A = this chain, B = another copy of it.
Amino acid sequence: MSGTYAVWGWGGPEDEPSAADLASLAPFVAETTGIPVQAPFRPRPLPELPPPRADLPSSLAPLCSTDPADRARHGIGRSYRDLVRAIRGELTHAPDLVLRPRDEQDVVDVLDWAGSAGVPLVPYGGGTSVVGGVEPVGLERAVSLDLQRLSGVVEVDPISRAVRLRAGTLGPAVEEALKPHGLTLRFYPQSFERSTVGGWVATRAAGHFSTRQTHIDDLVESVRAVTPTGVWESRRLPASGAGPSPDRMLLGSEGTLGVVTETWLRAQPRPVHRWSATVAAADFTAGADAVRLLLQSGLTPATCRLVDAGESALTGTLTTGEAALVLGFESLAAPLDQETASALALCQDAGLRVVEAGPRGTSGEAWRSTFVRAPYLREQLILLGVLVETFETAVTWDLLPRLVVQVTAAVTDALVAVCGGGRVTCRLTHVYPDGAAPYFTVFAPGRRGVEVAQWDEVKVAAGEAILASGGTITHHHAVGRDHRPWYDRQRPDPFARALGAVKRELDPTGVLNPGVLISAG
């Protein structure tokens, strides 16, 4: 269709949707989402980029690419607004250079040069940010520091079951390397195929499991990072009470304090016992009550995904007009009968209806495959003119029902005002004894040429409603540049100042990912 799929597409060249793909998908989309499809977008060619404005010393030349597609690709993430702008050829913030360090010393050298030359550096893992995490906005010049060459497993500790990984390793490469050891990270964010270990750590990513060790924070034994003023390496430990956790200061720092180069992560064998069920709830609130009781009874289902009626119908999870609760239990050692019997009894006591339940083989993996394939479907929807985006939060149970109602209403109103209509669906992706993470999906008819402005307005409505309802501006998508207005209001003021002080100490010339998390100054 065009030469720009490498810039905005989720997959490799073989994954680019053809005209025939889109034609066959169109009627299905119109029917299931109710959103009218449009004649497919014809991606525009890459605009001419300004000539690189950064003078690289010759010693760093071997790391450098100035290829326009490369620069363009490194200037965007994978949010709706990123894809639309790229498809429309509106790439205004491409970095001047893309540097690909081959080893940690290269990272040190690049930081040294950037610091002395005052050139902003944007650390780049897989480029799958959906929150403006890698886009060098408002900078006169910038360099993208692509870590993917720092890839691979350095060391496996089979006794402690932990693995030392280079930051640029992609999800599938991690699993491939662990397989011979009979281990897995069991960490599957939706970006699994395209995101990196270092990106997970920097953004506090979450996998798809609903409970227990589902945040990368929980898997981290230690982190090694290069800061502009020295190498940071924490001791590998199962736990420690020695002062505030060093790792927790880097987790979520989004490339503003240092560049993660390696990390030790906890691994585990694959589960032996698996069980799953689909349970129907009269509505989302009834389902949420049951989920709360499940979690508060001490059960820790690997999957506990409550999907509202609209999304259940859309995805075919349940087409009865009820909300669907998809439950999955997994275990290595003990059989699951008692936990699953307790879970089903509890659901039934709460008035839910068991649709199906039983041991499963690889059906969970089939779902996971659909889950990680979703971005491919999404880009096809976007090509068909559908405004499709997601956003997420977390909130305590006492505030959850009101948050879901208020956010849904605010976003629906905004869609009506901005797009003339649209749909908002909600599911709980992660659940805790004291609260849950609602995840919203929006479908609306995008208006050619103003889609980005449309979405920006809807996003403001979503952010305001989330904050007013007591939620966090992000549960696992990170802050980036897009969430700054709400993040700045959400965090404690002394903490914001503390973070600024850390930034000035570690990165005195302010070259690391300016604009993300922390304002300059």
- Assembled-state Cα–Cα distance A54/B76 (Å): 59
- Assembled-state Cα–Cα distance A470/B222 (Å): 13
Residues of B within 8 A of A299 (CB): 333-334
The reply on A311 being an interface residue by CB < 8 A is no
Mark interface residues in A321-333 (1 if CB within 8 Å of B CB, else 0): 0000000000111
Known contacts A249-B495, A332-B298, A494-B227, A241 near B204 by CB under 8 Å: yes
Identical copies in the complex: 2
Given contacts A245-B251, A336-B338, 9 further A-B contacts (CB under 8 A): A159-B398, A232-B494, A239-B475, A240-B474, A242-B490, A246-B495, A297-B333, A298-B333, A333-B346
Residues of B within 8 A of A494 (CB): 227, 229-232, 258, 506
Residues of B within 8 A of A257 (CB): 498
Mark interface residues in A489-517 (1 if CB within 8 Å of B CB, else 0): 01111110111111011100000000001
B396/A243 in contact, CB under 8 A: no
The reply on A395 being an interface residue by CB < 8 A is yes
Give the 9 A-B residue pairs with the shortest CB-CB distance, closest first.
A238-B435, A297-B333, A501-B505, A248-B248, A238-B432, A240-B472, A334-B342, A160-B396, A501-B501
- Assembled-state Cα–Cα distance A501/B246 (Å): 14
Question: Which residues from chain A sit less than 8 Å from chain B, CB to CB?
Answer: 157, 159-162, 203-206, 215, 221, 227, 229-246, 248-254, 257-258, 266, 268-269, 271, 292, 296-299, 331-339, 341-342, 346, 394-398, 430, 432-437, 470-479, 483, 487, 490-495, 497-502, 504-506, 517
Residues of B within 8 A of A471 (CB): 237
B396/A493 in contact, CB under 8 A: no
Listed by A's residue number, 11 A-B pairs whose Cβ atoms lie within 8 Å are A161-B296, A205-B241, A239-B394, A239-B432, A241-B252, A242-B479, A243-B479, A266-B433, A268-B433, A297-B333, A299-B334
Residues of B within 8 A of A239 (CB): 215, 394, 430, 432, 435, 437, 472, 475
Could you tell me the distance in whole angstroms from the C-beta of A512 to the nearest C-beta in chain B?
A: 12
Nearest-neighbor residue (CB-CB) of A435 within chain B: B238
Residues of B within 8 A of A248 (CB): 244-245, 248-249
Nearest-neighbor residue (CB-CB) of A294 within chain B: B333
Could you tell me the distance in whole angstroms from the C-beta of A519 to the nearest C-beta in chain B?
A: 13
Nearest-neighbor residue (CB-CB) of A497 within chain B: B505
A397/B477 in contact, CB under 8 A: no
- Assembled-state Cα–Cα distance A506/B244 (Å): 15
- Assembled-state Cα–Cα distance A203/B240 (Å): 11
Residues of B within 8 A of A502 (CB): 498, 501-502
Interface centre among A235, A241, A331, A396 (most CB of B within 10 A): A241
B235, B241, B432, B505: the one contacting A500 at CB < 8 Å is B505
